[in-house]
Amino acid sequence: MNPDRPWLQSYPQGVPAEIDPDEYRSIAAVFAASASKYADRPAYRNFGKTLSYAEVDALSAQFAAYLLGELGLKKGDRVALMMPNCLQYPIATFGVLRAGLTAVNVNPLYTARELRHQLVDAGAAAIVVVDNFGHTVQEVLADTPLKQVITTGLGDMLGFPKGSIVNFVLKYVKKMVPDYDIPGAVRFREALATGRRLALPQVDIDPGDVAFLQYTGGTTGVAKGAMLTHRNLVANMQQASALLAANELEPGKEVIVTALPLYHIFALTANGLSLHGAGRAESPDHQPA
């Protein structure tokens, strides 16, 4: 590396030459700071429904408590997330990370063969899946290490009556939810209700712990999981925040329109995580392809 660092001359005014990746020990710590500072501000918006930082904080804590207290998962266990952009995604993601577990993003359009490979390769102990793709999980369930399936409808976090209407239209009008039957599956809202009654234990998350197993597209062979540690992503978040601050965006009031799927690495880091941990990701009304 050139000790003179000539690339610094190309940095916009106000961008520091260095960031401190050790300022926070984990993504969960960054999120906690954001939730405290911006508690009443909007964090995520989808289908016209908005969740504040405080609401995402409470709901993700409930999901984390469910994963640890009810399912008995242990630090480092892998939880697969198979859903398009919806409010359940940040709740589940931050819940997994707060519990000291590893999130495994899954493309919901995967075929049964592709899904089976990823779940086995990752050693996923649980999965959160939107109803539209439950039939694919059902097809491979017996061949995977999954111990628990958590299902949800796209409208489940939208409130009444909008949520019920969305779920009804998707299933019975647009016919986008094939029938499936997974014995023992738990609904996402039931998991949150269970977690609400449980205490969330203090989990010591090390910067070197794996936060995400992020899989490649598999265009040159089978999909391969890249291990992204908390420190990797905290550093990335610090870099993004430094660039955004130099552009004079007001912290806590930025808005990102998220058209790309959050299970993809670009949207995950640039949209879901970059703005002070939780960010403010505003997803357009989204229907699975």
pLDDT in tens, the chain (289 residues): 677 889 888 888 888 888 888 899 999 999 999 999 999 999 999 999 999 999 999 999 999 999 999 999 999 999 999 999 999 999 999 999 999 999 999 999 999 999 999 999 999 999 999 999 999 999 999 999 999 999 999 999 999 999 999 999 999 999 999 999 999 999 999 999 999 999 999 999 999 999 999 999 877 788 899 999 999 999 999 888 888 777 767 777 778 889 999 999 999 998 888 864 433 334 433 333 3
Q: Check: CB of residue 288 under 8 Å from CB of residue 130.
A: yes
User: How many angstroms separate the CA atoms of 263 and 6, rounded?
Assistant: 35
User: How many angstroms separate the CA atoms of 163 and 67, rounded?
Assistant: 24
Q: Which two tokens stand for residue 61?
A: 């804590």
pTM of the model: 0.91
Does a cis peptide bond (omega within 30 degrees of 0) precede residue 161?
yes
Report all structural domains of the chain as residue ranges with CATH numbers, in order of start. Answer: 39-227 (3.40.50.980)
CA quadruple 36, 245, 274, 260: dihedral sign = positive
Longest CA span, the chain: 64
Q: Is 188 exposed, middle or buried (0-12, 13-18, 19+ CB in 10 A)?
A: buried
